[in-house]
Amino acid sequence: MSRPRLRRRWFVAFIAAAVAVAAVVTVSGLRADVQQTTVARAGSGSEVAVGPLVAFYGDSYTKGSAASAPAARWSSLVAQAEGWTEYNAGYPGLGFVRKRDQVGDVAADVIAQHPEVLIVALGINDNFEWTGNEEAIREAILPEFQRLRDGLPGTRIVVVEPWWFTAERPDSLEQIIGWVHDAADTIDADYISGASHWLDEDPAAWISADGLHPSDAGYAHIAQRMLEELDALSPALPGR
């Protein structure tokens, strides 16, 4: 049986265990946190950190807002399933324009980690700042991606289509998705399409009580879909 199929078979059981066993430590003055993926060392009772460092750069969906624990967010579930060490740079409300004056230089923080892989999932929040900011949003995307590429020339960058959470979609969403896709192509990043539809099939199960963020089940669904998309990338990501 191939590794991707085996991982998917055991993933549901893994999700239940991950929340209980994952260890989260805060670094950089609460600017971001690192999820240390661990495995038991053969023949001993100790655990050691393993796997390549992978950075996740995004918004509240990446941070895991409304999840029951950090280990239940999609990025941590993916990191655990892949055997990666996670650097989580998710900031609630962040977009390419939105809240940029409130969170500091996130790109610099990510670049300073020198991750082997960087997964970027931004854009949903710019829909909430659309009116009057259309050109500012368009003009902010490529420079942000180009800065990441220039600062991380040896890093595999994966850009995820901006999230959405309902079947009703504002006109701004397709514009932002198109700009993000074009910018990803320009810097020769991998691009994962379709993510804006991942939650609209069953919002009652996958969206939390706040009506905006995923529930634990929603984050698990995102993680499962993300693993399937990562399986399809060629060449394979480090550690796969």
pLDDT score at 75:
97
Instruction: Residue 86: give the domain boundaries.
Output: 3-232
In angstroms, the CA 97 to CA 119 distance is 19
Under 8 Å between Cβ of 78 and 223: yes
In a domain, 106, yes or no: yes
In a domain, 27, yes or no: yes
Residue segments in the chain with a per-residue pLDDT below the cut of 70: 1-50
pTM for this entry? 0.84
In angstroms, the CA 134 to CA 122 distance is 16
| Total of domains in the chain | 1
Alpha helices (H) in 24-88, listed in sequence order: 60-63, 74-82
pLDDT score at 240:
73
Under 8 Å between Cβ of 79 and 87: no
In angstroms, the CA 72 to CA 201 distance is 20
For 240, counting Cβ atoms within 10 Å of its Cβ (0-12 exposed, 13-18 middle, 19+ buried), the class is middle
Q: What is the CATH number of the domain that holds 50?
A: 3.40.50.1110
In a domain, 24, yes or no: yes
In angstroms, the CA 133 to CA 177 distance is 16
In a domain, 185, yes or no: yes
pLDDT tens string 98-148: 998 888 899 999 999 999 999 999 999 999 999 999 999 999 999 999 999
